[in-house]
């Protein structure tokens, strides 16, 4: 689990997201999930911020097939 | 024939081919071990003894020529469609519907003459890394049944380590072949994404699901890989890359002289290893790398701090795809999922469509960065596959869903970066700790460089005996009255 503490906003966001997906969650479970989800998504969004607009999702398969970045 | 299970696979194949052994004799020998191992370790979902005996009799009537695995027993993780039987995915409450009626890899093994002994246990749906399974029993570690086998291909690694089968087929989306192979002291390959066709596999995360092979040695893995690898036009993820005769080529490389790894550059990041592995594991990797150096390899420093970024992206990418696979079923039948699976699926619902696309876009970005960086200056990388030896079951399964997730996350974070970028990775035994528990590491290479990884491991296994060490004998099952 992340050592970053979730905020009240994170908990509310997780609870509302779960409701939107049709998943009933207790407040306790929303707190637990927020502790994991919110920091992970925040880190993820910081990481993918390095992408340029023309980084294409289909580039991966082409690179993999070729086996080289050149 | 009491030690038949410890024979190198090539010797077993040769004895079956020239008639020194019959398929029936070999199947009986492995069935006896499999029954005892399953009793102690819960490694099988279904041990199909009678079906295997019939197959062995049928096999005996066929010529061995052209059937590279004629009469060789194996088993597979219960995530493959086959013979009209839907796989359980080791989850009793929920069964996902598959369009495929057959598995490409099982068909290829059948055509090569291999004989299935049955289906193997796993974490439910393969969505955890401990082998804890409340529905089919938790797979235990053959080296100490009080410890986990690791997962999700828990039964595959435990069965091979216990000598119940010469090899097993698993799947690896975030380390599910390499983690249990490492914790059970056997050799496990996650090949390049697209190397082995995955038709008939119950998906977990489409962009990273990879079939893998677990066996005792790198040479054994090579012999199986050349039978199951290769393009399949029916599989949209299959790559048009030829599968060479891996085993013969590796044997030739090993025969080349006292320095079979001459010219090989082994990349190591001591800081990364120290941050992510116990002192014992770090010392084991240093020792294994020193042995590679003695075999002619050159050690180079690489920076692997990028792997933490890749782990975060792989996590979110997996969330998005697991939610797509399970979402509707999960929302309808949430209580039918095992607690740890339920906990992880609740997390998975957090990723949205843009997150998924951005994670897919990052796959190409990361692969290019990795090929230019660490794999630009090294041919193989030596990295940990588990932070420690196998944990005690009591430490990962004491009723808390949060703790169950944490235990899996700790094991996965060293492995799933390589699923994100699709490169091959091979778990290799590297000795034992003070308690006699197996330690392992993984070799990582460029796309389609399985031969390099397997040659490196085979050279290491030629001068060490860690891969051939035997766990305590499984207790025999009492005869029926």
Write down the domain spans for chain A. Answer: 8-66
pLDDT tens-digit series, residues B261-301: 999 999 999 999 999 999 999 999 999 999 999 999 999 99
Q: pTM of the predicted model, to two decimals?
A: 0.95
Mean pLDDT calculated for residue range B14-31: 96
Residue with tokens 């039987």: B85
pLDDT tens-digit series, residues B296-336: 999 999 999 999 999 999 999 999 999 999 988 998 999 99
Q: Are A51 and B362 in contact (CB under 8 A)?
A: yes
Q: Does B305 touch chain A (CB under 8 A)?
A: no
Question: Which CATH superfamily, name and number, covers B10-236+253-468?
Answer: Amidase signature (AS) domain (3.90.1300.10)
What is the ipTM for the molecules in this complex?
A: 0.91
- Is A55's CB within 8 Å of B365's CB? yes
Mean pLDDT calculated for residue range B5-33: 96
pLDDT at A10: 79
CA B195 from centroid of its chain's CA atoms: 14
B152 upstream amide cis, omega within 30 of 0: yes
Q: Which of B192-196, B346-350, B352-356 has the lowest mean pLDDT?
A: B346-350
* For residue B449, pLDDT beyond 90: yes
Residues in chain B closer than 8 A to A56 (CB atoms): 361, 364
Nearest CB to B361 within list A57, A64, A67: A57
Whether residue B154 lies in the annotated active site: no
pLDDT tens-digit series, residues B63-107: 888 899 999 999 999 999 987 778 999 999 898 989 999 999 999
Whether residue B217 lies in the annotated active site: no
Write down the domain spans for chain B. Answer: 10-236+253-468
Q: Which of B116, B171, B176, B238 is catalytic?
A: B176
């Amino acid at each position: 689990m992340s050592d970053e503490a979730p905020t009240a906003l994170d908990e509310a966001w997780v609870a509302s997201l779960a409701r939107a997906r049709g998943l009933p969650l207790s407040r306790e479970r929303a707190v637990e999930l927020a502790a994991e989800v919110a920091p992970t998504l925040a880190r993820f969004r910081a990481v993918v911020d390095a992408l340029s607009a023309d980084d294409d999702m289909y580039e991966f398969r082409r690179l993999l097939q070729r086996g080289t970045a050149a | 024939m009491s030690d038949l299970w410890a024979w190198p696979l090539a010797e077993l194949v040769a004895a079956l081919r020239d008639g020194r052994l019959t398929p029936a004799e070999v199947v009986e020998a492995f069935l006896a071990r499999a029954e005892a191992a399953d009793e102690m370790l819960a490694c099988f979902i279904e041990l199909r003894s009678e079906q295997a005996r019939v197959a062995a009799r049928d096999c005996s009537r066929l010529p061995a020529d052209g059937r590279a695995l004629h009469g060789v027993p194996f088993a597979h993780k219960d995530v493959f469609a086959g013979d009209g039987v839907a796989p359980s995915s080791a989850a009793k409450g929920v069964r996902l519907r598959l369009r495929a009626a057959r598995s490409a890899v099982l068909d290829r093994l059948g055509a090569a003459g291999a004989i299935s002994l049955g289906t193997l246990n796993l974490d439910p749906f393969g969505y955890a890394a401990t082998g804890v399974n409340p529905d089919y029993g938790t797979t235990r570690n053959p080296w100490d049944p009080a410890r986990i086998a690791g997962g999700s291909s828990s039964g595959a690694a435990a069965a091979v380590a216990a000598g119940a089968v010469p090899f097993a087929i698993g799947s690896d989306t975030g380390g599910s072949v390499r983690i249990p192979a490492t914790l059970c002291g056997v050799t496990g390959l996650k090949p390049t994404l697209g190397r082995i066709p995955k038709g008939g596999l119950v998906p977990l995360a489409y962009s990273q699901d990879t079939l893998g092979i677990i066996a005792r040695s790198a040479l054994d893995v090579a012999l199986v890989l050349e039978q199951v690898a290769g393009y399949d036009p029916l599989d949209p993820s299959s790559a048009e890359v030829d599968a060479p005769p891996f085993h013969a080529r590796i044997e030739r490389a090993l025969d080349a002289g006292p320095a079979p790894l001459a010219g090989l550059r082994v990349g190591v990041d001591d800081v990364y290893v120290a941050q992510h592995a116990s002192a014992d594991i770090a010392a084991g990797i240093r020792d294994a790398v020193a042995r590679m150096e003695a075999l002619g390899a050159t050690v180079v420093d690489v920076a692997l701090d990028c792997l933490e970024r890749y782990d975060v992206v792989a996590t979110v990418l997996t969330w998005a795809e697991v939610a797509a696979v399970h979402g509707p079923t999960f929302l309808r039948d949430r209580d039918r999922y095992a607690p740890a699976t339920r906990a992880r699926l609740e997390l998975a619902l957090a990723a949205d469509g843009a997150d998924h696309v951005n994670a897919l876009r990052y796959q190409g970005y990361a692969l290019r960065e990795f090929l230019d960086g660490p794999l630009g200056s090294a041919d193989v990388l030596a990295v940990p596959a588990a932070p420690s030896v196998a944990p005690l079951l009591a430490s990962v399964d004491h009723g808390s869903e949060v703790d169950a997730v944490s235990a899996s996350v700790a094991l996965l974070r060293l492995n799933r970066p390589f699923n994100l970028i699709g490169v091959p990775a091979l778990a290799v035994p590297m000795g034992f700790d003070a308690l006699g528990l197996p330690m392992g590491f993984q070799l990582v290479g460029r796309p389609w460089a399985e031969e390099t990884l397997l040659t490196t491991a085979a050279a290491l296994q030629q001068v060490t005996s860690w891969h051939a060490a035997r766990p305590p004998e499984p207790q025999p099952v009492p005869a029926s009255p």
